[in-house]
A and B are shown apart, each in its own frame.
Chain A
Amino acid sequence: MLRYSAKQLLNMALTLFAVSFLVFALNELSPGDVTRKILGPYASQSQVDHLTREMGLDRPAIVRYFEYMGRALTGDFGDSIYYRQPVSTLIWDRLGNTLLLAAISFAVIVPLSVLLGVLAGMRERGWFDRAVSVFSSMCASIPEFAMGVFLLGIFVVWLGVLPGTSPLRADSGWAIWMQFVLPVLVVTFYDAGYLIAMVRSSMVEVMRQPYIRTALLKGNSFRNVVAKHALRNALITPFTVILLQLNYLVSGLVVVETLFAYPGFGRLMLEAALAKDIAVLEAGTLIAVSVTMLTQLFGDLGYMALDPRIRV
């Protein structure tokens, strides 16, 4: 197990290295001059050249890459040309906000999906199963923006009990926790719809297995069979998918963050991409890749813990 984790971590470092190089190279090749972008169209060529020298951009790309990586390892990702501040102050702040939103959502989504999925799947085609299936497919099929606007309509415009934006500032007139309610709700509806369906179909599959029959015909009560024999088996398949949701929750919340003016990581990335803010994009990509790879590692480890048939 330890050896496997060490191997995976090494693997991760190598992948990150490769990704960072690719991202760096891509940005190098992308059209438009960084200094020209900073100085604007009316600067003279000599001013541009001067800044280029000052920023060290006239040296070979490979040298600059290693320099960049060296600084990145100490947490310095350079300066954002759009926000005019160091990337590190900008990004950690935003990432923190997103992680908070992701953690709250995850804490709601996972227990909800497992509970509903298992209860629905244990009696295939029962009334509860049918109800849950309808609910989950409805949730999964309504896009986030539609769900967001719909909930805004109810809770903000009509009832007026929740804030319409979530800038996470105490001076906005709403308590911070209330600013979280709507974004979490939208993410939960959208994501849980999909996860419930996953857990349910896995549970249905497990309940059809001969070992469930064995457990029942041993004299176990139905409740016992579900809790002791079916549950763990039913979670094996959805487990990796559940962890994959973390990736979505960290870098895929653009729509929700934009909708509620939430100062998150996804929105930062979107703005950086629109503004060709290369330093921010590079740092963001590296963070997103790291998150993905970490969840994958945890996924593999958890998978092994759940299923004794998988050993490394």
Chain B
Amino acid sequence: MAEILAFEHVSIAYDGRAGRQIILNDVSFSIGAGEALGLVGESGCGKSTVALATMRYLPRGMSVIEGHIRVEGRDTAGLSDQELSRIRGNRIAMVYQDPMSSLNPVMPIGKQLMEVPLLHGETDEKAAFSRAVQMLEEVRLPAAEAMMERYPHQLSGGQQQRVVIAMALMAEPALLIMDEPTTGLDVTIEAAILELVRDLRAKFGTAILFISHNLGTVARICDRIGVLYAGRMVETGQIGTVFRGPAHPYTRGLLGALPRLSGGGRRGKLRPIEGTIGAGDRSRIGCAFVPRCSFAVRHECEERPIAMVDLGGDHLARCARLDAIRASVKDEHDTVATAAGSNAPIVLRVRKLSKEYKLSSFFGGEKKGVVRAVTDVDLDARAGETLAIVGESGCGKSTLARIVSGLLAGTSGEVKLGETDLTKLKVDDRPPEIRRQIQMVFQNPDSTLNPSHSIAYALSRPLRMLRNLASGDAKAEVSSLLAQVRLPAEMAERMPHQLSGGQRQRVAIARALAGNPELVVADEPVSALDVSVQAAILNLLGELLEQSQLGLVLISHDLALVRHMADWVAVMYLGRVVEYGPVEQVFSPPFHPYTEALLRAAPTPDPDAAPPSAALEGMMPSPTEIIVGCAFASRCPSRIAGLCDTTPPPVRQFGDHRIACHLDLGGQVPVAPGGLTEMRSSTS
């Protein structure tokens, strides 16, 4: 097999004011024609540097200090700028994270696509045009010719990424580099993109370097995997071999930290990798993972360089303690299911909640329609339990969270905390006691902590405001809050920028806990964090739920996480709850067709899993559309024509489990059509 890309003992360093810092340390790997290599590791491990170095596009101050990078046999270091331009976009092309920002906002799609052939030898505009149209059809974009005229902002995120992929494949490159290509996309769109990449790869025989923090997406695309840690390759091998029998403790950690769809759920302990990559870890003589490794032994691991050990069958690992680890092997993923306590008291009752926005133009104020963000939602959140709300972006889950927390007012229906109706009470109108009882944790801890206040200030403020503590008492309470979220008391004096992302999210959780709330609404609380850190935060939330009788409303797009954390699940689509019930029942048949599609789309780090059959087509209708029948009818693979699009679906009931669907899934259909939860109280 011809080698397309080869890294030969490559070291890359950053020379800054603080002296030289090693970014990549003696990295070697190769990708043959048509092969797909996945590169994984947490942020800061050097994944993106590998991609940029391949393109010879390193950030200022960074340079290759040792080794060779060969593209189709040629050392890129010796290329002139002109030769480099001929390779970029032609022999190697790249697909990026966040497609919106990687497309020029003021240039039509077509022009951006045509640029590639025009740069690489094609002189005829017409030929370039038809090539671009053909490529847009190849990535399954509808009305390709019309698409050529569009600007990036006129496309959805999934369509944008298809355009970027089309652009990358325009010149039929030998190597395609994909850097987190589906991060930030909805799970259904992600599945469709991954399916497209698989098909295109089969068709064009392009080799792929696939960079991701998500082991599940890597499993779907790649043949081989390389695990990077602190700038070093710590394990490489066939994907099945590595996932079934990870050798390096870091790889084992990554796999063990992951909540899984097939797991037992109910917040069994995950195995986080403790700590973070330290500043000095990249330049250690021995193993860089030592500070976080439970198998490390001083003289063996730290004092000399560790060589890659050949484990046979193309499987290599850089670890001095492989034998010791193998001897102590046991099932690392023993998430234990605890009994479900579904009769816990209800903290929050949501009934028939709707939220509408009237659109009006600035001039004259004529109405242009109504956005129905949330329609007739029924939910219960229970003490000591987690209610998860899942769905694609735009399904109304965040609007719901904002109404509960008082950032928005509901239009109609009922949101009750205990006996108080909060539907129309925005946070400023809520009595202090209610404000104390509902707290939020947001997705991005960086932007929710004021960078100019210390952690102590951030935590003592709610203590004084919500619990009227004197400043002396508040100080003592800050330490106990920090202890609750497993942070040392010294953290109180730090500023937010001195903390890692995981630590900041712990502080955000501590801040939410400061008022002794009864309900915490967490909107994607771990999606900005690395897998290893995520596991620790999830464990923490699990412990907090066990200790206090706190109710948790968890908004998430990650089904494996929901499977792991939730007691109850509500699946939302276009502002409506289409399925609701205990987690085991929602995640096993019978399904609402939408839930089924979501579950099939979710990438699992299981090399044996069958590739998902046809991903969900189309897009969610606009919330301004008036829906007569079932909201999901326009995309439903098992839609019954003439029924689903004309008649609202009946609610089918399976014990505690409710599905709003026309399909005969079994179960009881209520005589009077009612909300998904309402019926439960009437029948039980």
Report A's interface with B, CB cutoff 8 A.
Answer: 7, 209-211, 213-222, 228-229, 232-233, 236, 306-309
Task: Contact check, A216 vs B106: say whether CB atoms are below 8 A apart.
Answer: no
CB–CB B89/A7 < 8 A: no
A222 to B107: give the CA distance in the assembly, Å.
Answer: 18
- 21 intermolecular pairs with C-beta atoms under 8 Å apart: A210-B101, A211-B103, A214-B103, A214-B104, A214-B167, A217-B88, A218-B88, A218-B93, A219-B85, A219-B88, A219-B89, A220-B85, A220-B89, A220-B115, A220-B119, A221-B85, A233-B104, A233-B105, A236-B106, A307-B105, A308-B106
Most buried by B among A209, A210, A218, A229: A218
In the bound complex, what is the Cα–Cα distance between A228 and B81 (angstroms)?
19
Given contacts A7-B363, A309-B151, A309-B153, contact A218 B115 (CB under 8 A): yes
A213-B102, A214-B103, A218-B93 given. 10 additional CB < 8 A pairs?
A210-B102, A217-B55, A217-B88, A219-B119, A222-B81, A228-B115, A229-B107, A308-B105, A308-B151, A309-B153
CB within 8 Å of A: which residues of B?
A: 55, 57, 81-82, 85-90, 93-94, 96, 98, 101-107, 115-116, 119-120, 151, 153, 164, 167, 363
User: Closest 7 CB pairs between A and B?
Assistant: A219-B89, A218-B89, A210-B101, A219-B88, A308-B151, A210-B102, A219-B119
Q: Give which listed residue, B105, B116, B153, B363, contacts A219 with CB less than 8 A.
A: B116
In the assembled complex, the CB of B42 is this many whole angstroms from the nearest CB of chain A, namely 22
Contact B116 A217 (CB under 8 A): no
- Nearest CB in chain B to that of A214: its residue: B102
Total contacts A to B, CB within 8 angstroms? 75
Contact present for B167 and A219 (CB under 8 Å): no
Question: A217 and B106 in contact (CB under 8 A), knowing A308-B151, A308-B153?
Answer: no
- Give B241 Cβ to nearest chain A Cβ, in Å: 33
Chain A contacts for B85, CB-based, 8 A? 219-221
**Contact present for A217 and B105 (CB under 8 Å):** no
- The answer for the CA separation of A149 and B564 in the assembled complex, in Å, is 76
Least CB distance, A149 to chain B, in whole angstroms: 43
Q: Which residue of A lies closest to B154 (CB)?
A: A308
Residues in A with CB closer than 8 Å to B105 are 211, 233, 307-309
Query: How many angstroms from the CA of A243 to the CA of B406 in the assembled complex?
Result: 43
- With A233-B106, A307-B105, A308-B105 known as contacts, the answer to whether A210 contacts B119 (CB < 8 A) is no
Assess whether B57 is in contact with A218, with CB atoms less than 8 Å apart: no
What's the nearest-Cβ distance from chain B to residue A224, in Å?
Answer: 8
Q: Is the CB of B115 within 8 A of A210?
A: no
Kindly state the separation between the CA atoms of A308 and B107 in the bound complex, as whole angstroms: 8
Q: How far is it, in angstroms, between the C-alpha of A213 and the C-alpha of B95 when the chains are bound?
A: 11
Q: A229-B107, A309-B151, A309-B153 are in contact. Are A216 and B57 (CB under 8 A)?
A: yes
Bound CA–CA A232/B115 (angstroms): 17
User: Taking CB as reference atom, which chain B residue is nearest A310?
Assistant: B153
Q: Distance (Å) between the CB of A303 and the closest chain B CB?
A: 12
Closest to A219 in B: B89
- Residues of chain A within 8 A of B93, CB atoms compared: 217-218
Distance of A307 from chain B, by nearest CB (Å): 6
- Closest A residue by C-beta to B153: A309
B106 proximity list for chain A (CB < 8 A): 232-233, 236, 306-309
Bound complex: CA A155 to CA B94 (Å): 57
Cβ-defined contact, A218 with B104, below 8 A:
no
Contact partners of A217 in chain B: CB under 8 A? 55, 57, 88-89, 93-94
Q: In the complex, A303 Cα to B153 Cα: how many Å?
A: 16
State in angstroms the CA–CA spacing of A216 and B88 once bound together. Answer: 8
* Residue of A whose beta carbon sits closest to that of B105: A309
Please state if A219 and B90 are interface contacts (CB–CB under 8 Å): yes
A7-B363, A220-B119, A221-B85 are contacts. A215–B104 as well, Cβ < 8 Å? Answer: yes
Taken together as a complex, chains A and B put the C-alpha atoms of A307 and B106 apart, in Å, by 6
- Minimum distance in angstroms from B54 CB to a CB of chain A: 10
If A211-B102, A211-B105, A229-B104 touch, whether A219 touches B86 (CB-CB below 8 Å) is: yes
